[in-house]
């Protein structure tokens, strides 16, 4: 269990260090071009997800996301106590990952974001992103488990661009990104609604794809 928790901590740490670090680097190099900055943030995020899920999947399942852990807890594939420990490790790892990125780029270690991300459009984007992420994982596990790292990385890469929220789809990521007043940040008052939508989407996706994949088997 200790190795599993370390894998979840280190994976979420690495994910947030990449999200924030690439966001800072992209913004600095883009000369005010938001589209280029977003592209510079998107590619490293998708790429690191492929790497992290590949290397940590055999150890912990490579959740790095309380919404994903919730899905597997509902499905009975992880005990409730273990799920709670996973979530704590994920949140802590994500926060420390943000701190590391801030230090690397000579920013204040804690610098609360002022980027507002609120409203029905943003919440809908988070619902779509999280529902799609859970669906991607469950369908890949059913059809081709070895493809999960690539599928998740590609889904998040695409969702950065087709969702209004740029696809947080992860409560631990949402909490951690509120501590960084950078391109990738989210204002602390906005995180509660984001997390609520993410968790609702995860629950609905879990039950929908559980039914959908069972129906496929029956057919």
Question: Domain of 106?
Answer: 2-218
Residue with token string 């959908």: 212
62: DSSP letter: -
The Cα 92–Cα 46 span in angstroms is 21
Q: Are 18 and 48 in contact (CB under 8 A)?
A: yes
Using the predicted structure, report yes or no on whether residue 218 has a pLDDT greater than 70.
Answer: no
How many domains would you assign to the chain?
1
What's the whole-number mean pLDDT along residues 30-57? 96
Over the stretch 158-211, which tens digit does the pLDDT of each residue have? 999 999 999 999 999 999 999 999 989 999 999 999 999 999 999 999 999 999
Quick one: 132 exposed, middle or buried, by C-beta within 10 A (0-12, 13-18, 19+)?
Answer: buried
Question: Can you give the pTM of this predicted structure?
Answer: 0.94
pLDDT at residue 217, as a whole number: 67
What was the pLDDT predicted at 219? 57
Q: Phi/psi at 180 (nearest 5 deg)?
A: -130, 115
Q: What is the CATH number of the domain that holds 71?
A: 1.20.1080.10
For 65, residues 6+ apart whose C-beta sits below 8 A from its C-beta are 12, 90, 133, 169, 170, 171, 172, 173
């Amino acid at each position: 269990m200790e190795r599993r928790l370390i894998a979840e901590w280190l994976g979420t740490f690495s994910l947030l260090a990449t999200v924030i670090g690439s966001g800072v680097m992209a913004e600095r190099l883009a000369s005010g071009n938001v589209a280029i900055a977003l592209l510079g943030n998107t590619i490293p995020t998708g790429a690191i997800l492929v790497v992290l899920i590949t290397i940590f999947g055999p150890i912990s399942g490579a959740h790095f996301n309380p919404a994903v852990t919730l899905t597997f807890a509902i499905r009975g594939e992880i005990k409730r106590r273990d799920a709670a420990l996973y979530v704590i490790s994920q949140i802590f790892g994500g926060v420390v990952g943000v701190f590391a990125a801030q230090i690397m780029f000579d920013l204040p270690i804690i610098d609360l974001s002022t980027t507002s991300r609120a409203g029905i459009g943003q919440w809908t984007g988070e619902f779509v992103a999280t529902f799609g992420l859970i669906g991607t994982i469950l369908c890949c596990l059913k059809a081709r488990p070895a493809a999960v790292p690539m599928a998740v990385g590609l889904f998040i890469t695409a969702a950065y661009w087709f969702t209004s929220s740029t696809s947080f789809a992860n409560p631990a990521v949402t909490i951690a990104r509120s501590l960084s007043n950078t391109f990738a940040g989210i204002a602390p008052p906005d995180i509660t609604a984001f997390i609520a939508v993410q968790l609702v989407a995860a629950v609905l996706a879990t039950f929908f794809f559980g039914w959908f994949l069972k129906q496929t088997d029956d057919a």
